Amino acid sequence: MKYLIFFASLSIANAAVISMSLFGGNYGDPHYTTLDGNSYTFNGYGEYTYLAISDERVKQRSANFNPNQSYKFMSQIRTIPLQNTTTSASKVTVTSGFAARSNVADAQPISVTVSRHKSLVICRGNEILKFISASSNSNNVTLVFHDVIIEKNLTNEITTLSWPIGVIIQITPVKITKPILGIVLNVIVSLSKIYKGQTYGLMGNYDDNATNDLQNSKGEFIKPSDTVEHIHKRFGITWSIDPLKSLFYYEAGTESATFYHEQNQIFQPMFNDPRPIRRQLDTAIFDACHISTNASGNLSSWSVAQRMCYYDISVTNDFQFGQSSLAAGEELRQKQQHSASNRFEPIIYMMAIILGRLFI
Ligand SMILES: *[C@@H]1O[C@H](CO)[C@@H](O)[C@H](O)[C@H]1NC(C)=O
Ligand SMILES: *[C@@H]1O[C@H](CO)[C@@H](O)[C@H](O)[C@H]1NC(C)=O
Ligand SMILES: *[C@@H]1O[C@H](CO)[C@@H](O)[C@H](O)[C@H]1NC(C)=O
Ligand SMILES: *[C@@H]1O[C@H](CO)[C@@H](O)[C@H](O)[C@H]1NC(C)=O
Ligand SMILES: *[C@@H]1O[C@H](CO)[C@@H](O)[C@H](O)[C@H]1NC(C)=O
Ligand SMILES: *[C@@H]1O[C@H](CO)[C@@H](O)[C@H](O)[C@H]1NC(C)=O
Ligand SMILES: CC(=O)N[C@H]1CO[C@H](CO)[C@@H](O)[C@@H]1O
């Protein structure tokens, strides 16, 4: 084993990096919040480029995304329908995997997926990582590699991946009970502001301008106000990964990267846009999503988190799932607000150097 396991607190390092960063993420029946703060829903079935960071500042943004190029950081997300698509009309899709790597020397991909047995599988390269706490009163385990630090809370399974280049990913597994039992991953990205003008993928084109966030892999801009269907077809599915470039670990005997690539082409989601209608259930949903009665008829007064909560309960009828989206959306909004008021940029470099010295 080339890594050491230790239990020291990384919270200070993480807090410092996070306060210098901006946030994006996705949760629920995938709702994405881009790094510039735009929100959209994309129900794809496949594996997609989530956040790629190019080595160079991208001056001419109209250039195609080229998967053969070397990226400073590359991350991918897997989303799947919750039910068997051939036998069911309900097409709720959820996040079931995340994988990423940096391009420092000897870096290995980290893959976090939900297994067939509904447990979290975390791999580095081809090795499945085991998180075993050395002491019975400790519920967190940290694995340190030269390229990435992985921290897992054994109680709630929240897993934090920190790349000293300035990217932190927090993955929260959430249980869903309807329409079927499953585990859904909510992902929060924290990215150093030094990467302005260098990002690609579903997390959007980060340049402090929210109107040009949805840039597809061919370099075209899609309006965030476009319909769910348009965003799906012109933006979301264009980020399907080249199967040869997959960073995921595949369980023996299960689907391959090629399988997901094909599903991306075939899958037809329902382009939901649930709207409140006067019925008994809505009152319960409004309660669950903290939407006040007077605001319930006025969609534009709802927060993004409230809309996504409403959406998720409407399509799944799983109230707890909806409330986990409300909490995730709210957490993301608070982090984005906090980061918007933060100006101390260069400390990220210092933190990266300190982390490098300590752990390489
Ligand atoms: C990437 O490389 C592969 C194999 O060399 C090639 O088939 C493919 O066209 C390349 N893709 C791009 C976008 O250049
Ligand atoms: C989906 O249902 C079809 C028809 O019942 C079945 O043949 C197939 O194996 C199922 N797929 C999965 C992934 O369960
Ligand atoms: C781990 O999760 C549990 C349950 O949510 C929480 O009480 C605890 O504080 C967490 N531990 C750490 C180190 O964050
Ligand atoms: C933001 O992007 C839009 C669309 O590309 C552009 O028209 C606008 O000028 C940009 N705003 C700023 C402040 O750069
Ligand atoms: C609804 O009422 C609450 C308190 O009664 C108030 O704080 C809120 O601003 C109202 N919302 C709208 C959209 O009118
Ligand atoms: C709906 O809510 C928005 C935002 O809170 C507010 O500006 C607007 O006046 C409201 N419209 C109605 C018809 O109450
Ligand atoms: C990040 C964090 O909270 N780490 C804790 C992990 O558990 C040990 C032992 O209980 C604590 O000392 C750390 O602070």
Looking at residue 35, its pLDDT comes to 92
Looking at residue 7, its pLDDT comes to 30
- Is residue 87 in contact with ligand 2, taking CB distance under 6 Å? yes
Looking at residue 317, its pLDDT comes to 84
Over the chain, what is the mean pLDDT?
A: 82
pLDDT in tens, 302-314: 998 998 898 888 8
Residue 347 has pLDDT above 70, yes or no: no
Give the tokens for residue 75. Answer: 């991350």
Nearest CA to ligand 3 atom 14: 153
Looking at residue 156, its pLDDT comes to 92
Identify the helix (H) or strand (E) that includes residue 306: helix 304-316
Nearest CA to ligand 1 atom 3: 68
- Is residue 86 in contact with ligand 2, taking CB distance under 6 Å? yes
Going from the Cα of 31 to the center of ligand 4, the distance in angstroms, rounded, reads 24
Alpha helices (runs of H) in 91-237, residue ranges in sequence order: 228-230
Q: Return the higher-pLDDT residue of 161 and 355.
A: 161
Going from the Cα of 210 to the center of ligand 4, the distance in angstroms, rounded, reads 8
Looking at residue 135, its pLDDT comes to 78
Q: Can you tell me the mean pLDDT for 139-168?
A: 92
Nearest CA to ligand 6 atom 2: 301
Residue 4 has pLDDT above 70, yes or no: no
Binned at pLDDT 50, 70 and 90, residue 211 comes out as: very high
Nearest-atom index, ligand 4, CA of 209: 1
Which range, of 59-68, 226-235, 249-258, 272-281, averages the lowest pLDDT? 272-281
Read off the DSSP letter of residue 207: S
Binned at pLDDT 50, 70 and 90, residue 59 comes out as: low
Q: Return the higher-pLDDT residue of 88 and 179.
A: 179
> What does the angle CA 57 – CA 59 – CA 62 come to, to the nearest 5 degrees?
120
Looking at residue 87, its pLDDT comes to 58
- Is residue 300 in contact with ligand 6, taking CB distance under 6 Å? yes
Nearest CA to ligand 5 atom 11: 295
Ligand (nearest to CA of 296): 5
Which range, of 38-47, 136-145, 205-214, 223-232, averages the lowest pLDDT? 136-145
Q: What percent of the chain has pLDDT over 90?
A: 49
Looking at residue 10, its pLDDT comes to 38
Residue 12 has pLDDT above 70, yes or no: no
Read off the DSSP letter of residue 253: T
Looking at residue 279, its pLDDT comes to 58
- Is residue 66 in contact with ligand 1, taking CB distance under 6 Å? yes
CA neighbor of 235 nearest in space, from 92, 68, 30: 30
8 Å CB contact between 293 and 286: yes
User: How far from 329 is each of 25, 26, 49, 153, 257, CA to CA, in Å?
Assistant: 9, 8, 21, 21, 30
Looking at residue 30, its pLDDT comes to 86
Does the predicted TM-score (pTM) go above 0.75? yes
Which range, of 7-11, 205-209, 210-214, 329-333, averages the lowest pLDDT? 7-11
Q: Can you tell me the mean pLDDT for 240-244?
A: 96
Q: Can you tell me the mean pLDDT for 161-183?
A: 89
Identify the helix (H) or strand (E) that includes residue 163: strand 159-163
Going from the Cα of 182 to the center of ligand 2, the distance in angstroms, rounded, reads 17
Going from the Cα of 319 to the center of ligand 6, the distance in angstroms, rounded, reads 26
8 Å CB contact between 188 and 32: no
CA atoms within 13 A on the CB side of 350: 7
> What does the angle CA 12 – CA 13 – CA 16 come to, to the nearest 5 degrees?
85
CA 356 to the chain's CA centroid = 25
CA 133 to the chain's CA centroid = 27
Our mutation pick for probing the ligand 1 site, out of 65, 68, 240, counting the most ligand atoms within 8 A of Cβ, is 68
- Is residue 211 in contact with ligand 4, taking CB distance under 6 Å? yes
- Is residue 115 in contact with ligand 7, taking CB distance under 6 Å? no
